[in-house]
Amino acid sequence: MEQLRKELLRYTAEFKRKYSCRNDLSEEFLSRLYSVFPFNRFEYIISHLIAAHIIDLDQYIQMRSSYLERNKYLYIFEITAPRTFGEEWAQRHLNELVPELKRPTKQLDSNYSGQYDFWYDGARIEVKASRAVAKRSGGSLIEKALSTDSSEKFDMNFQQVKPGCCDVFIWIAVWRDAIKYWVLSSKEVQSSKYYSASQHRGNIGEGQLWIKDTNIGDFASFLSGPREILNKIIEKAAKD
């Protein structure tokens, strides 16, 4: 979004030089512009720039393609309900990447009672997901969504972490332009200095863990490519 704003700012400056007597792209006018989906500030500016021959259709298509490439996962930030994001989207996404993972049942695990999300060859797997959102206050998730090259501070909190209830954790983190995966054994989670063993008073065995802009490098050894996840699960389950 920041790059798109800079591009449009450059073109609107040219528009103002060419049409100095017009104020329809002035900041004051744009701040009062009423928007209703899908008509908004950006389509208003772009339509004026094309009409004024400041940019042509090919430039617009290139601008659009570049924006979509930089923001290919921005739609995931539109999911406002935490449960829908954390359970429905994240679990479905992982199962599409690793179809070998099975939904647990009593037939697979006689002790199963909803403690974890997936089963693979005796390994109990729990999925946690979060999104990289700027820590600054105000604005929607989409407005605060970060790209991987952003310098803004973020704090991804993986909650309700229960190392005693599974063998392997898979953490999914979403940026505007990338999705990253970490695979850890339960013991690795429990021994992490970033794991807090008491999320809520009285909740024994349940904690939380934060991945922040300041410590994300410490988790580099747990990163996994999408095609490596299953092998990582097997490796971590064997070590647990």
Q: Where are the domains of the chain?
A: 2-70, 74-239
Reported pTM: 0.78
Fold that domain 74-239 belongs to in CATH: Trna Endonuclease; Chain: A, domain 1 (3.40.1350)
Q: Is the peptide bond before 38 cis (omega within 30 degrees of 0)?
A: yes
* pLDDT per residue as tens, the chain (240 positions): 677 778 778 878 887 887 877 877 888 777 887 777 667 888 889 998 999 999 999 999 998 988 888 899 999 999 988 889 988 899 999 999 999 999 999 999 999 999 999 999 999 999 999 999 998 878 888 889 999 989 999 989 888 899 999 999 999 999 999 999 999 999 999 999 999 886 555 556 788 998 999 999 999 999 999 999 999 999 999 976
Instruction: Tell me the HSE value of 224 on the side-chain side, using a 13 A CA sphere.
Output: 23
117 Cβ neighbours under 8 A, 6+ residues apart: 91, 104, 125, 126, 127
Q: How far apart are CA 29 and CA 33, in angstroms?
A: 6
